[in-house]
Structure 1
Amino acid sequence: MKTELIIRIAALFGVLAVIFGAFGAHALENMLVETGRLDTYETAVSYHFYHTLALLAVALLGRLYPENSRLFTSAWFFIAGILIFSGSLYTLCLSDVSWLGAITPIGGLAFILGWMILLVSFGKRNPS
């Protein structure tokens, strides 16, 4: 995956995080409070934004270390985590389809794997 693509994906995810956060704070707040899902929605937005910034950092590291293929693997896991973790929570909050909560941990696992791969990508031997 080219760093330019990761940067574009991070920028798109950043735009969406701001939109979803603003939409939740203004247009959806009453509904989220009534359904008891405000905290869940805020968690989705927070993790969405944290990992968007992580994705951007990985893209910038990819510019500095283009031979480090693990960085790009880490990026894919952050992308999957945002889509699965935050995406399932957004959908849960808006649709009240409760079984979606069962797939949220898969997104959390993707986040963990992304961070672990990032950690080992700068070990003693930096494989390409």
Structure 2
Amino acid sequence: MKLWLTLAALNGFIAVAAGAFGAHGLQGRVGERALAAFETGAQYHMYHALALIAVAWLASLSTHSGITLAGWAFFIGIILFSGSLYFYGLTESRALVLVTPLGGLAFLIGWAALVWAAVTLAR
């Protein structure tokens, strides 16, 4: 639980900082598409930082492997999805464009793992 809560808090902090930077530091410095991508990265970053809080809470109640899988998948998704969108937003380079869907897939795996944990724990 401590690991997930620490990662959740750290990522929540980074997501807020990134969102503020995007809103105030990038405006007028990059194109509209790059700014929109950066903002999307910050939104999904925050959503999944909050999901990590849920993982921390669930980990305090159960050691189900689906909960652990969800936590790692959310964390990897943040790095790949949000990270690649932050990169694009800052540089307007599409060099990491193929990484973004892998991050989205990691998010989906995380949510599916929580479904698996919920269904199997309810028995």
What TM-score does the superposition give when structure 2 sets the normalisation length?
Answer: 0.93
What whole-Å deviation, never above 9, does each CA across 1:41-100 have from its counterpart, x for those lacking one?
1110100000110011111111112x2121011100000000000000001111222121
The answer to whether the aligner puts 1:11 opposite 2:25 as a matched pair is no
How big is the shift at 1:35? 5.2
Q: In structure 2, what is the equivalent of residue 54 of structure 1? A: 51
Is 1:69 aligned to residue 65 of structure 2? yes
Q: Give the equivalent residue in structure 2 for 1:120.
A: 116
Partner Cα separation in structure 2 for residue 35 and residue 100 of structure 1: 18
SS in structure 2 opposite 1:98? coil
Q: Give 3-state SS (helix, strand or coil) of 1:92's partner.
A: helix
Structure 1 runs of 4+ with >2 Å offset: none
Retained in 1: the 8 A contact 2:70–2:113? yes
Shift of 1:114: 0.3
Percentage of pairs with the same residue: 43
Q: Figure out how many residues of one structure are paired with residues of the other and give that number.
A: 121
1:93 aligns with 89
Structure 1 residues without counterparts, runs of 5 or longer: none
| One-letter amino acid matched to 1:13 | N
Read off the aligned partner of 1:53 and give its amino acid letter.
Answer: L
Q: Which runs of 5+ in 2 are unaligned?
A: none
Q: Indicate the residue corresponding to 2:102 in structure 1.
A: 106
Residue 118 of structure 2 aligns to a residue in which SS? coil
Aligned partners of 2:34 and 2:92 also within 8 Å? no
Distance change (3 Å), C-alpha of 1:5 and 1:35: same
